Structure 1
């Protein structure tokens, strides 16, 4: 029958101490573990000594926990660094125009610009400009368009041949390829006025109409 050999207190304690930093930090889990282990060894029953395998297993577990803590700390630093880089990137967008998800199209004396994002090339792209009452003022057949982001330009003329009043409009888009509907996302065009770094995200102020937009939703910058 196998017997359990008594644990050599001095050897085990020395081995554990070697793998632990000398930081005198009461909150360090390794320090707490070592104190508990040494106390347990001092008070062990001579007739029922600690099992070597059990002690070794406990030491391995605390090493694993310590490694996970260090990994989490490293990942947190990487995340913080990434967030700082995104904020710096966003600051460089101030004063530039950008495409963001939306259906707003603003007409001024120079015309109006909006955008679409197509998941594939299409042979038909139709755009309808709507006034504040939802009434169509201009329909444009733009024909073949490539996949990805494309710019829509409106000169401000209505279907009746008159000039539309400057201001905010909305637009709707349909796209087809070989007679089949193709998914299309509409993009509004606005000016980045300021940047607000956040804990979880960086927000860009795109004006009263578009409001605060997440940096992740910036589709193209001009």
Structure 2
């Protein structure tokens, strides 16, 4: 797992503190100026207090908005930290990843599911090598909506393409299966981009592209 680099990350609590202090400083400066003007006002031509009250209300409103923003930034940081902690626990677990291909190890038997939103007349899974040679074909007649579990016979080491064809009447749809793969490591971004999972035989994918966690295909 890559170490977390905090050099480019800004602490929202520190940022909000500086901003809040700046607004508070302006408000205090205004109050001091107001007190000084009241002390030195012409008794025959007193200052209009309503204007000062209005300006004080505006300062208070700005402080409230800055406080709200600081709270939101703090919540976002807490949520990101929680995602990081939870994602590290995924190492070594099995996930379902939508993909049309993998790099298989010698003797590996890839498994997964084909997810149907509605019933179909026929579903075909075709596995090919990079030369286009068909390695395995599986066909399901009149499947209902839901998941169709599959397992491919042992493969030689190499890269393979998985193609799903769904027939519904005269309509033919092509898609990708959800392959059951192991999470090997976690990559934590320096900025606010997605947490990346290193998936066996696939490389890096976004945490949010995973369809299901802890899925075992039997």
Q: TM-score, normalised by structure 1?
A: 0.69
State the alpha-carbon separation in 1 of the partners of residues 157 and 183 from structure 2.
21
| Residue in structure 2 matching 1:84, options 64, 72, 81 | 81
In structure 2, the partner of 1:125 is 123
**CA separation of 1:146/1:60 partners in 2, compared to 1, >3 Å: closer, same or farther?**
farther
- Corresponding residue for 1:116? 114
Q: CA RMSD of the aligned region, Å?
A: 3.1
Within-5 A mapping of 1:2-21: none
Task: Describe how 1:60-209 pairs up with structure 2 within 5 A.
Answer: 60-105=57-102, 106=104, 108-109=106-107, 111-156=109-154, 165-181=156-172, 184-198=175-189, 199-200=191-192, 201-207=194-200, 209=201
Deviation at 1:123, TM superposition (A): 3.4
| Aligned match of 1:39 | 33
Partner SS for 1:57:
helix
**Structure 1: unaligned runs, 5 residues or longer:** 1-22, 157-163
Tell me how far 1:215 sits from its aligned partner.
1.2
Deviation at 1:192, TM superposition (A): 0.8
Are the aligned partners of 1:41 and 1:50 in contact in 2 as well (CA < 8 Å)?
no
Instruction: Choose between structure 1 and 2 for higher RCO, CA contacts under 8 A separated by at least 6 residues.
Output: 2
Q: Equivalent residue of 1:192, what SS?
A: strand
